[in-house]
């Protein structure tokens, strides 16, 4: 039961998030961290889509509502970034919704707003 899904990929993604946090520090908004992460993903040849749109189905129909993930990485990992004082259950629920809509089974919730980078693996 010690096998983490996408262990190597998550290690790589979190490492790049730490690089961004170490370079920029806390205090910027999410867009700034997203731009820096996008630079790092390109530099490190990480397969990603920024602001991937996910539709929501209900009883066989597509609802007019939808979600945008901050990043979808390797077509199977949702990366949601925050720049807030502390993560709450609300942000976790947001990632769970993204996972359900995307059919991905792993989400990473990363907070750049604290003194040290905080992240959480979320599995659906």
Distance CA 116, CA 55 (A): 34
Residue 21's domain spans which residues?
A: 7-123
First to last CA, the chain: 16
Task: Give domain status of residue 59, yes or no.
Answer: yes
Mean pLDDT, rounded, of the chain: 95
Q: Write the CATH number for 108.
A: 3.90.320.10
Is 1 within the bounds of a domain?
no
Q: Measured between alpha carbons, how far is 67 from 87 in angstroms, rounded to an integer? A: 20
Residue pLDDT, tens place only, 14-45:
999 999 999 999 999 999 999 999 999 999 99
Q: Tokens standing for 4?
A: 């983490």
For 78, other C-beta atoms within 10 Å of its C-beta total 27
Name the residue among 85, 87, 92, 116 with its Cα closest to residue 17: 116
Q: HSE (CB half, 13 Å, CA atoms) of 83? A: 15
Tally of structural domains, the chain: 1
2 belongs to a structural domain: no
Q: 75-104, pLDDT tens digit by residue?
A: 999 999 999 999 999 999 999 999 999 999
């Amino acid at each position: 039961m010690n096998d983490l899904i996408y262990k190597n990929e998550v290690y790589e993604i979190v490492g790049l998030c730490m690089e961004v946090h170490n370079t920029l520090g806390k205090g910027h908004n999410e867009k700034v961290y997203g731009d820096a992460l996008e630079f790092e993903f390109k530099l490190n040849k990480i397969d990603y889509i920024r602001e991937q749109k996910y539709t929501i189905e209900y009883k066989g129909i597509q609802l007019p509502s939808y979600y945008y993930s901050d990043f979808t990485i390797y077509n199977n990992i949702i990366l949601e970034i925050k720049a807030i004082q502390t993560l709450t259950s609300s942000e976790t629920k947001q990632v769970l919704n993204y996972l359900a809509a995307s059919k991905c089974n792993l989400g990473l919730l990363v907070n750049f707003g604290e003194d040290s980078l905080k992240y959480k693996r979320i599995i659906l």
